[in-house]
């Protein structure tokens, strides 16, 4: 069983479109994350949610919005896609309670987004 899953694995779309990436974890973890890894392989955190509370919100364009319908899901919505949004997006989860973030993060397989 996959612990952290993401769909789709690949996403190719035109500039200006709106798209969503889904993430689900079956580990019973309290905290979920979204990361962006650019072409230079630099992994940067975008958001972190704990029990539906946004606890990390790095400076990302407001075109990006996380949506957490429940503890096991954290979806990423992107509006008005731009060329610079092309990257690999990783979802992750950890057991950590609020504001500790001490635990191992388990990453999903990534979604490779290409904006044309």
Partner 1 sequence: RKEVEQDPGPFNVPEGATVAFNCTYSNSASQSFFWYRQDCRKEPKLLMSVYSSGNEDGRFTAQLNRASQYISLLIRDSKLSDSATYLCVVILYSSASKIIFGSGTRLSIRP
Q: Examine residue 59 and tell whether it contacts partner 1 (CB under 8 A).
A: no
Contact 77, 65 (CB under 8 A): yes
Candidate list 52, 100, 114, 116; residue touching partner 1; CB under 8 A: 100
CA distances from residue 76 to 1, 100, 103 in whole angstroms, order as listed: 22, 23, 22
Angle at 87 between CA 41 and CA 40, to 5 degrees: 25
Q: Examine residue 107 and tell whether it contacts partner 1 (CB under 8 A).
A: yes
Q: Examine residue 72 and tell whether it contacts partner 1 (CB under 8 A).
A: no
Identify which of residues 60 and 110 has a Cβ nearer to partner 1 in the complex.
110
Q: Under the rule (CB under 8 A), what is the footprint of partner 1?
A: 33, 35, 40-45, 48, 55-56, 90, 99-102, 104-110
């Amino acid at each position: 069983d996959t612990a952290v899953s993401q769909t789709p694995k690949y996403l190719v779309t035109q500039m200006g479109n709106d798209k969503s990436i889904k993430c689900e974890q079956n580990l019973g973890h309290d905290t979920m994350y979204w990361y962006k890894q650019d072409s230079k392989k630099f992994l940067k955190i975008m958001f972190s949610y704990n029990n539906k509370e946004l606890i990390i919100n790095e400076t990302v364009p407001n075109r990006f919005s996380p949506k957490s319908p429940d503890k096991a899901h954290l979806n990423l919505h992107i509006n008005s896609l731009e060329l610079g949004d092309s990257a690999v997006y990783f979802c992750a989860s950890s057991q950590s309670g609020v504001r500790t973030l001490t635990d191992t993060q388990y990453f999903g397989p990534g979604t490779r987004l290409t904006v044309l």
